Structure 1
């Protein structure tokens, strides 16, 4: 319908809404992602730099990609996709968070030229997905299976050695690189303590204790937690028990002041005394029932008061109240038994067992340690270090190594690291692109070129001649030397399969798929709509319109009236 021969203006979005679309919007999103890539580039590889991040007065020193992106507080909507993809890689595989971010940004960088020339982003996305499919298929063709050979003992020992090599590769770019032999042994032992069916890494507890050197860290094949708050009487309790029987409770063993949690109307003092006597009788019945089970260690999520503490001490029983839920769950997983929520039906079957319980001094703290558990499916890492920031980075490094070892056990196929697999995939995709025609040839070739960002950046961070070494690797891979990658020890190239620079194939496949999906997502967005906050409100209080009731005007008074006091 027209009015007077003119088409009326239709306002769909509210005033102040910002919209931008088209080719310029895609290029803007790519630029934002490249800015994130520039931040992470120097942290890649064995010679990558650490980043010092200060947020709300808290200092973090790390080169873990997911941690850096999390603490950077990225606000650009397109760049946030890179943050999400690094989190995804960290959750699924545990390592390769920096690599996946660099790859996805590099895929966008290579696509930029096609976008500027007017090529449809859907054509680019289709080519990238085809290239990713081919790359993953190639990894499946050349991956090497870690096999257990010989007898069971020999096979287990050999497989353990192979897992240690994977763990050392994961630590090669971390703060603990110099101590990788020590920590690789610890990581493999820790993972092998877990239930082989589930391999739940949350059952590996980590306790950080400031002071001492890194190699004073230790692995407890069981459970260890910081000494809980103790009441009078704890000094008389035993601090070392052999063949301990452990009872885990979710019961409060403490007398409460009547005025805090009860209201009783009484007329005589004797009635008050009867109430107090009844309460004592109840708690003593609970304590007698616990002692009757034969338990020598009593743990509870809830408080254990001074009466119970002294009662247990007189009978040679150790007790700890206010034990953290996750520590108590891991204790049950280590020693057996179950958590009891009542003391009315306790039996010896409810108890867990361990060969040795002791309370030991570590640094300036005391820790309760349960070891020699017959069927332990959990363990605890006690990490030492000179500063809290160092210990926190050691924990992040060990998390990456633990996840890599876990994936290597679940999916025991590996490929060579150090840029070897990226160079092989790049060569393979280049050869494929020459066999096809049209735009897809250019796009797959661009994808192949983008893969070289990993070895190129590794060289740059190590201060090596990237151009010369990349050309040498191209030459070797063209002659069928598929496992040749960078050798930082000799500042040259080497067969990284023989030098034991290994990574799980699953890590590379997941990184390629995640990076390709992230790049496709950003390239597929060609319009952004930013809704401005309501200008007529500040917080939740409406701002009066011009000429309306101002400050000092009572509610309900017309704006033309003045209130005079």
Structure 2
């Protein structure tokens, strides 16, 4: 078929589709990631600032936790969202180093940006970065110090203190490191499920008023009349945990019962009452002194138990009830008729206590305690929320340190040693284009100590030069000394971090950089998000009305 010598125009994509590709697209993606990095880098380290984030509802969050910041930032650029993913993966895998991983990924992209602009193939850059990453990880594993010998508790406290050094609670780190280490060591050491550490927040009081409960504590649940007459303290009580409703309810789903005589109606009412009385009597006969249920316990049951010196609480949150079962050895029952003695739990002491403006139920001295509760106090709500985030990071670090007993020095020491090693290796052993990629990666690692110095107000150029000299001499743990504005042996100064934090950060940052480099085309279809008009030939504006519902004056169909 002839088209008069002209090549026909073939339209593949819908009209309105935005298509950008090539080297310019990669540079644009890198610039977007650098903008995100610039936002978060000021929060790194012991002297990093906090960010005040306000969402669309006016809710404020004050934090310097990288994962929280990345989650709350409303990033619209598709490539820059990859940084959010790596921060989330670092938080899930290790729990700390979330800011470091974003700063490092941004710096790697910044260093290799000029190679992209000069026309170096992105595949060559990716190959160089992967090689440098593998060498860096091997070097960290080689220099890491094993902590399996010595005082484990003391080592864990040092690691928790380093994790807290950049947080709001670093002034109270002695108080909280003991709490964190006790909390993790109270868990089952085989699976170390951190979800079994309950964290309860109560405004008011000082940070030092926070409590560690070797057992379970939860806020007093909604209660009916008769609750105040129940005993609030027991020694060695038996505990029953239920998933049963102990309440008289009206018939559901508009059920209809037809009766011809009043006595028949009375028989129905009596039967309902008899059912609930049988349940309560069966529970009382088990000898349990504490009755807990996920479902409501109504006023009739509350008064029944109060008359018999039994404590009850309904509508207990499922995670709290699960932790009570873990601690006391009870098992959740779905019926009241066949409860055996082995289904009941026990604890040394049950008590209801007032803490601040709240009343809490405490289960302490539990025989099977594989769980604990941290009750946090503080002035403002945002402050306590940040304390909780800080403790989460420290708990995760201690958990990882128990499973992977190798540490490195923090304060930029590990990054400077790996950087010096990569520079030396590239000069001696690599002669291809990849040499400059490895050296660029080595330079990018220096962003951690440099940013630590910048955030602390130190002379970054001077300190980095001194660190390079020390590492060339073989002082592998030389890092930034925040106390004396200089450099120090951070291994001796007890600035410790699990090697897993560094390994995971480097691997995640390089993966993100390689992913962003491999994207050289973005196709954005603006119209796909807009629903099409349901009918043709509608007057202007009618299509919008049709989408919302049948507009006024439109014919029924």
- CA distance change for structure 1 residues 542 and 54 in 2, over 3 Å: closer, same or farther? farther
- CA distance change for structure 1 residues 28 and 322 in 2, over 3 Å: closer, same or farther? same
1:152 aligns to what?
A: none
1:398 aligns to what?
A: 391
Match of 2:492 among 498, 520, 525: 498
- CA distance change for structure 1 residues 309 and 474 in 2, over 3 Å: closer, same or farther? same
- CA distance change for structure 1 residues 164 and 54 in 2, over 3 Å: closer, same or farther? same
The one-character-per-residue Cα deviations of 1:209-253 (angstroms, maximum 9, x if unpaired) are: 000111111111111111001111111111111112110000000
Alignment partners' CA distance in 2, 1:418 and 1:224 = 37
TM-score using structure 1 length: 0.94
The answer to whether residue 187 in structure 2 is matched with residue 194 in structure 1 is: yes
- Write the mapping of 1:46-195 to structure 2, written as runs, cut at 5 A: 46-55=46-55, 56-149=57-150, 158-195=151-188
- CA distance change for structure 1 residues 542 and 400 in 2, over 3 Å: closer, same or farther? farther
TM-score using structure 2 length: 0.96
State the Cα distance separating 1:357 from its structure 2 match.
0.6
Q: Which SS does the other structure have where 2:13 is aligned? A: coil
The one-character-per-residue Cα deviations of 1:411-442 (angstroms, maximum 9, x if unpaired) are: 01000000000000000000110021011110
State the Cα distance separating 1:257 from its structure 2 match.
2.8
Q: Which runs of 4+ in 1 moved over 3 A?
A: 258-262, 534-538, 540-557
- Write the mapping of 1:484-523 to structure 2, written as runs, cut at 5 A: 484-523=478-517
The answer to whether residue 382 in structure 2 is matched with residue 407 in structure 1 is: no
Alignment partners' CA distance in 1, 2:536 and 2:373 = 57
State the Cα distance separating 1:3 from its structure 2 match.
2.1
- CA distance change for structure 1 residues 46 and 8 in 2, over 3 Å: closer, same or farther? same
State the Cα distance separating 1:262 from its structure 2 match.
3.7
Alignment partners' CA distance in 2, 1:298 and 1:535 = 53
State the Cα distance separating 1:67 from its structure 2 match.
0.6
The one-character-per-residue Cα deviations of 1:440-472 (angstroms, maximum 9, x if unpaired) are: 110000000000000000000000010010000
- CA distance change for structure 1 residues 547 and 318 in 2, over 3 Å: closer, same or farther? closer
State the Cα distance separating 1:148 from its structure 2 match.
3.3
Structure 2 stretches lacking a partner, 5+ long: 544-550
The one-character-per-residue Cα deviations of 1:524-559 (angstroms, maximum 9, x if unpaired) are: 111000001259747x755756799898765499xx
Q: CA RMSD in A?
A: 1.8
1:454 aligns to what?
A: 448
Contact 1:537/1:543 (<8 A) preserved: no
2:298 aligns to what?
A: 305
- Write the mapping of 1:432-447 to structure 2, written as runs, cut at 5 A: 432-435=425-428, 436-447=430-441
Structure 1 stretches lacking a partner, 5+ long: 150-157, 558-565
Alignment partners' CA distance in 2, 1:556 and 1:161 = 77
1:321 aligns to what?
A: 314
- CA distance change for structure 1 residues 206 and 548 in 2, over 3 Å: closer, same or farther? closer
1:153 aligns to what?
A: none
2:546 aligns to what?
A: none
- CA distance change for structure 1 residues 552 and 192 in 2, over 3 Å: closer, same or farther? closer
Q: Which SS does the other structure have where 2:383 is aligned? A: helix
Alignment partners' CA distance in 2, 1:270 and 1:264 = 13
Alignment partners' CA distance in 1, 2:343 and 2:349 = 19
Alignment partners' CA distance in 2, 1:128 and 1:298 = 60
Contact 1:295/1:317 (<8 A) preserved: yes
Q: Which SS does the other structure have where 1:322 is aligned? A: coil
The answer to whether residue 217 in structure 2 is matched with residue 215 in structure 1 is: no
Q: Which SS does the other structure have where 2:180 is aligned? A: helix
2:3 aligns to what?
A: 3
Alignment partners' CA distance in 1, 2:83 and 2:516 = 10
- Write the mapping of 1:527-542 to structure 2, written as runs, cut at 5 A: 527-534=521-528, 537=531
Alignment partners' CA distance in 1, 2:341 and 2:113 = 70
State the Cα distance separating 1:5 from its structure 2 match.
2.2
The answer to whether residue 455 in structure 2 is matched with residue 464 in structure 1 is: no
The one-character-per-residue Cα deviations of 1:112-154 (angstroms, maximum 9, x if unpaired) are: 01001100000000000000000000011110111234xxxxx
Contact 1:536/1:542 (<8 A) preserved: no
